[in-house]
Amino acid sequence: MNKQNVFDALRVAEEFSNFTDAEIHELVERCTTRVVVSAQPLWSLGESRHACYILLSGSFERRIQTQTKTLVQTFKVPGEVLSWSALVGDSDYYSSATALERSEVLVLEREAFQDMFENNAAAAYALIDLIALYLVEDMRAANSRLKEVFGRPAETLRMLRRRIRED
């Protein structure tokens, strides 16, 4: 996909609806594109984070392993972003992402993002706004899960007692 096609794809993506044309151009200039074939991982569990990925075409499945279950997310809408947190932290992935079909992503390396930020690039600040929105949404979801668990203490205690007996 050439840069104009990438720009056109991001221009209509809901994720980037608040970006100006100049911010999208700035972002596209700092990114590279990558084609991933079906069943190829974009990243693997335990791998070091170094970039975020913006879906241009195709689809991915992200698997998050918790202590009790595996959560599965599917990304298939052009403009969806995988791994925002890689732009601001260098911890290892606690998930994996695998292409479900031939897919193309825009890759923004952390170093490129940091350079944009240090040079006061408008696109970097627009990305920070998006990251903040995702963090707020993650906190709301975490609060909701905590409320489910601790909002009904009698039910939670029964479940814990049952698990102890099963072990």
**What does the pLDDT look like over 103-137, one tens digit per residue?**
999 999 999 999 999 999 999 999 999 888 888 88
Report the top-level CATH class of 3-166.
mainly beta
Q: What is the pTM of this model?
A: 0.81
Are 40 and 98 spatial neighbours (Cβ–Cβ below 8 Å)?
Answer: yes
86 token code pair? 């890689």
* Residue 149: predicted pLDDT: 67
| 139: CB partners within 8 A, 6+ apart | none
Are 137 and 26 spatial neighbours (Cβ–Cβ below 8 Å)?
Answer: no
| Cα–Cα separations (whole angstroms), residue 146 to 43, 106, 141 | 29, 35, 9
Between helices 21-30 and 3-12, what is the axis angle to 10°? Answer: 130
| 42: CB partners within 8 A, 6+ apart | 36, 53, 60, 82, 97, 98, 99, 105
- Indicate the domain borders of the chain: 3-166
Tell me the residue type at 14.
Answer: E
Partner residues linked to 95 by β-bridges:
64
User: What tens digit of pLDDT does each residue of 78-100 get?
Assistant: 999 998 888 887 788 888 999 99
CA distance 36 to 58: 9
